[in-house]
Chains A and B, each alone.
Chain A
Amino acid sequence: MREPPVILAQDLTKHYRVALKEETLLATLRHFFLREYRTVQAVEGVSFQIAKGEVVGFLGPNGAGKTTTLKMLTGLVHPTRGQALVGGHVPWRREKAFLKKITLVMGNKQQLIWDLPAMDTFRLNAAIYEIPEAEFRKRVLELAEMLALTEKLHQPVRKLSLGERMKAELLAALLHRPEVLFLDEPTLGLDVNAQVAVREFVREYNRRYGATVLLTSHYMADIAALAERVLVIHQGRLLYDGALEGLLDRFAPYREVGLTLKAPLPQEALAPFGEVRELEGREAKLLVPRERLTERVAEILRRLPVEDLEVREPPLEEVIARVFQSPVPAEEA
């Protein structure tokens, strides 16, 4: 028998009512007595399932509905319509057993007590989550080691660097060893080293404890490194659910052809072979539709003075940008 999914979302929908207000004094006065509202469709009929131990990337531009979806799955927001089950619980009932199974890390918010060492927040969380003292010590040591944070546990949080603080946030959020991790921009604002450290840690946590992870990130490298499967959401609708490579095929049926020419050529000379993305001296980059790749490459080799030629996948960032620039395909996903 197949295991039931750890995360199940069915037709999840959230509409907000937002008060409208213009900036003039008159409008402010009018606003005071008579408010006008507009309905924002933050999330619209999103359905997906995530199995135990999966790491899934959640992609979408700002305001696409990622955070709202995470908030529904963690029980902070009641959906306008639709169902969800996380670890067998309806999230917005906020049962204790449910809260002990999940965690939500938000890169732009912190739960650590600012003026005290991180260790104090950990102690507090251990008590709240009813983790026995010995087990608590063991877990802190283990997680701190995985995060390379052991030295910093007794320094006031305000003295920590941004990267260290994020690591401590993760530690605080994972002390109760949740089975389901919701990570909202966990690497926001971190430098490359710290990003890699956080990424490695999430991967290791997933491997060690078989935890299920749903993460959003603006850094495609995070998603590429961690997630085999991605959900793409745009204007509240789910556009894509599948393997990361499939995303490339579906939204970027192109390959990038890098050329080193024997002598510089004008753009017009290259244009017949593909979309010229870059041209600098003897170096050029062309985008070529995938189904015509062989034919075009053969032609390039035959007609142009090529010294070197390389075929690459276009960068993920560019693919995603393309998806979000294009108008939403109606109910195609």
Chain B
Amino acid sequence: MRKARTLLSVYLAYMLEYRAELFLWALAGALPLILLGVWTEAARSGDFPLSPGEFARYFLMVFLVRQATVVWVVWEFERDVVEGRLSFRLLRPLDPFFDHLAAHVAERLARLPFVVLLTLLFFWLFPEARFLPDPKPFLLGLLFTLLAFLLRYLMQYTTAMLTFWSERASAVEEVFFLLYLFLSGTIAPLEVFPEPLRALALLTPFPYLVYLPAGLLAGQEVGLFPGVWVMLFWGLVFLLLWRLLWRLGLRRYSGMGA
């Protein structure tokens, strides 16, 4: 426990060194707020399964979920390998997985004030998004936001393992990101997808990274099952894949001279 606390406090100090950058990053995540404008406008004039207010709430929650689940470990890991810093991490009795995880959590805390600020700003700009959440689905939504973060981190960390074979694992992540953008519900809630596509999307891990927690937080009717099982399934797949690639990768890293 002390280990986790110290890791967090040191990385928090580190992140606070970069406050200005953090603010820009938080701002850069404002895409859902732009989409909010687009979709509420569209909903006013067309026939959509969600009302303008529901769209506004959904996208606001997408914004928050994405702020809470930002992951960049693949770039960090790539740098570690290219610059040889991974060797130092390997000499410590702590798996780098947890080291990077702690840095991500600390960043989240450092980012929080900016996120609150941006949220207040948008409540002011889009009064139709204001609402009083029902505590039970909202708490469930928070729980799923946490799970979404862990799954996303695990997925990207597994991708990062490819650095052992190609020094540009981040290129693979960019491809993943495209899928993520469309299938996670970032660009449009899954309600507006044509049915076969929607069913297909729900089998991938992506909707559980954004759509599910954002829907819960926004107080929409979202079915938890069998989604939870799909999420769990992907979590397990990536967990096994991570361990396997880590083992093989280390052997290769060592073969290259560490």
Interchain CB contact (< 8 A) of A77 among B84, B88, B258? B258
Query: What 0/1 readout, one digit per residue, does chain A (63-82) give for beta carbons within 8 Å of chain B?
Result: 00000100100111110000
B258 touches A71 (CB 8 A): yes
A123 touches B10 (CB 8 A): yes
With an 8 Å Cβ cutoff, the count of chain A residues facing the other chain is 35
Residue A109 lies at the interface, judged by CB distance under 8 Å to chain B:
yes
Query: What 0/1 readout, one digit per residue, does chain A (90-114) give for beta carbons within 8 Å of chain B?
Result: 0010101001101110100101010
Of A125-133, A244-252, A271-279, A310-318, the one contacting chain B is: A125-133
Return the chain A residue nearest B8 by Cβ.
A127
Across-interface contacts of A113 in B (CB, < 8 A): 10, 14
Nearest CB of chain A from residue B218's CB, rounded to whole Å = 38
Residue B136 lies at the interface, judged by CB distance under 8 Å to chain A:
no
With A16-B255, A113-B14 already in contact, the answer to whether A128 and B91 are too (CB < 8 A) is: no
Residue B42 lies at the interface, judged by CB distance under 8 Å to chain A:
no
A165 and B84 CA atoms in complex are apart in Å by 19
Nearest CB of chain B from residue A21's CB, rounded to whole Å = 15
Interchain CB contact (< 8 A) of A78 among B14, B90, B94, B255? B255
A133 and B5 CA atoms in complex are apart in Å by 13
B7 touches A124 (CB 8 A): yes
B10 touches A74 (CB 8 A): no
Residue A116 lies at the interface, judged by CB distance under 8 Å to chain B:
yes
Tell me if B's interface is mostly helix, strand, loop or mixed.
helix
Nearest CB of chain B from residue A202's CB, rounded to whole Å = 18
Residue A17 lies at the interface, judged by CB distance under 8 Å to chain B:
yes
**Interface members, chain B 60-101 (any A CB < 8 Å):** 84-85, 87-88, 90-94
Residue A135 lies at the interface, judged by CB distance under 8 Å to chain B:
no
A128 touches B3 (CB 8 A): yes
Interchain CB contact (< 8 A) of A127 among B7, B14, B90? B7
Tell me if A's interface is mostly helix, strand, loop or mixed.
mixed
Residue A200 lies at the interface, judged by CB distance under 8 Å to chain B:
no
With A115-B17, A120-B13, A124-B10 already in contact, the answer to whether A109 and B92 are too (CB < 8 A) is: no
B256 touches A76 (CB 8 A): no
Across-interface contacts of B90 in A (CB, < 8 A): 75-76, 94
A68 and B258 CA atoms in complex are apart in Å by 9
Across-interface contacts of A106 in B (CB, < 8 A): 87
Nearest CB of chain B from residue A71's CB, rounded to whole Å = 5
Across-interface contacts of B251 in A (CB, < 8 A): 78
A128 touches B94 (CB 8 A): yes
A120 and B10 CA atoms in complex are apart in Å by 6
Query: What 0/1 readout, one digit per residue, does chain B (1-19) give for beta carbons within 8 Å of chain A?
Result: 0110111011001100100
Across-interface contacts of B256 in A (CB, < 8 A): 16
Interchain CB contact (< 8 A) of A92 among B84, B88, B254? B254
Return the chain A residue nearest B98 by Cβ.
A128
Across-interface contacts of B6 in A (CB, < 8 A): 123-124, 126-127
With A71-B257, A128-B93 already in contact, the answer to whether A109 and B10 are too (CB < 8 A) is: no
A104 touches B91 (CB 8 A): yes
A100 touches B13 (CB 8 A): no
Across-interface contacts of B88 in A (CB, < 8 A): 109, 111
Across-interface contacts of A75 in B (CB, < 8 A): 90-91
A76 touches B10 (CB 8 A): no
Across-interface contacts of A103 in B (CB, < 8 A): 91
Return the chain B residue nearest A99 by Cβ.
B93
Across-interface contacts of A111 in B (CB, < 8 A): 85, 88
Return the chain B residue nearest A108 by Cβ.
B84
A42 and B258 CA atoms in complex are apart in Å by 13
Across-interface contacts of A104 in B (CB, < 8 A): 87, 91
Across-interface contacts of B91 in A (CB, < 8 A): 74-76, 99, 102-104
Return the chain B residue nearest A109 by Cβ.
B84
B92 touches A128 (CB 8 A): yes
A116 touches B93 (CB 8 A): no
With A115-B14, A116-B17 already in contact, the answer to whether A16 and B257 are too (CB < 8 A) is: yes
A76 touches B87 (CB 8 A): yes
Query: What 0/1 readout, one digit per residue, does chain B (217-258) give for beta carbons within 8 Å of chain A?
Result: 000000000000000000000000000000000010011111
A127 touches B3 (CB 8 A): yes
A68 touches B257 (CB 8 A): yes
A76 touches B3 (CB 8 A): no
A107 and B87 CA atoms in complex are apart in Å by 14
Across-interface contacts of A127 in B (CB, < 8 A): 2-3, 5-7
Question: 9 additional contacts, CB 8 Å, given A75-B90, A76-B254?
Answer: A76-B90, A76-B91, A94-B90, A96-B93, A103-B91, A116-B13, A127-B2, A129-B93, A133-B2
Which 4 pairs between the two chains have the least Cβ-Cβ distance? A127-B6, A76-B258, A99-B93, A96-B93
- 24 pairs of residues in contact across A and B, judged by CB atoms under 8 Å: A16-B257, A42-B257, A71-B257, A71-B258, A75-B91, A76-B91, A76-B254, A76-B258, A92-B254, A96-B93, A99-B92, A99-B93, A100-B93, A102-B91, A104-B91, A111-B85, A111-B88, A116-B10, A116-B13, A116-B14, A121-B10, A127-B2, A128-B92, A130-B3
